[in-house]
Amino acid sequence: MTTEEGPVRVAVLVSGGGTNLQTLLDALQNSPVARVVRVISSRPGAGALERARRAGVTTTVLANPADPNELLVALRDAQLVVLAGYLKLVPPVVVAQFRGRMINIHPALLPDFGGPGMYGHHVHAAVLASGARESGATVHFVDEAFDRGDIIAQEKVRVEPADTPETLAARVLEAEHRLLPRVVLDLARRM
Ligand code: GRF
């Protein structure tokens, strides 16, 4: 995809509070490389929508996240799609249209601790229960299954003996916030 027309146009899919979206908005502000052009939420109450509005970014709330046509319309002007705290499965026809240009951030070291139901608190509780000495964040390409696409980059964090799911989540989230903007800018430079 050539992008003589300026920064790569990034759409961000969200469901929650949007701290990953916020780090992207901050990192891409005034960037000549990439720009968040739309934030698309699977639910109307997502705090991420308020972050988008504050940044002056167009928002869309999906009436039915399982409807491929609605999502394709919302993604019509996107060149790169980032799932940031997005909790719905992307319909296969949308995955196919954006293959190699749709990425997700997951709060664990895939391929471990991923898949259906592995989100938020559940991920970190499973990591602690496993006795793993490290965890971290993964950015991967999106395919038809949750958390299964090719891994692009990871950042590891230590698991501390006194960790709770909450303290581990906070340490992993800091890694996510470092990793995601770096990967988005790297990918955008190569588009
Ligand atoms: C993050 O841990 C992210 O990896 C996961 O959802 C959590 C919340 O993300 N997918 P955000 O604060 O809504 O960006």
Tokens representing residue 161 in the block? 């003996």
140 is catalytic: no
d(CA 181, CA 111): 21
| pLDDT of 2 over the 70 cut | no
Return the pLDDT at 84.
98
Closest C-alpha to ligand 1, atom 5: 85
- Evaluate whether the domain defined by 8-109+138-155+177-190 bears CATH number 3.20.190.10: no
**Rounded CA gap, 126 and 128, in Å?**
5
First to last CA, the chain: 5
C-alpha of residue 16 to centroid of ligand 1, in Å: 7
Please tell me whether the peptide bond between 116 and the residue prior to it is cis, using omega within 30 degrees of 0. Answer: no
The secondary structure of residue 165, as a DSSP letter, is H
Is pLDDT of 182 > 80?
A: yes
Residue-level pLDDT at 4: 61
pLDDT for residue 149: 94
Percent of the chain whose predicted confidence (pLDDT) is above 90? 95
The tens digit of pLDDT for each residue in 161-179 reads 999 999 999 999 999 999 9
**What is the residue-averaged pLDDT of the chain?**
96
Apex 87 CA angle, 55 and 132, nearest 5: 110
| Ligand 1 centroid distance, CA of 101 (Å) | 20
d(CA 23, ligand 1 centre) in Å? 11
Catalytic residue chosen out of the listed positions 106, 124, 140, 177: 106
Which pair of structure tokens corresponds to residue 104? 């997700």
Q: Which of 90, 9, 13 is nearest to 49 (CA)?
A: 13
Domain ranges of the chain: 8-109+138-155+177-190
4-8, 164-168, 186-190: least confidently modelled range: 4-8
Q: Please work out whether the CB of residue 57 comes within 6 Å of at least one atom of ligand 1.
A: no
One-letter amino acid of 76: R
**Does the pLDDT at position 188 exceed 80?**
yes
What per-residue string of b and e applies to 141-165 under the rule 16 or more CB within 10 Å gives b? bbbeebbbbeebbbbebebeeebeb
pLDDT of residue 5: 75
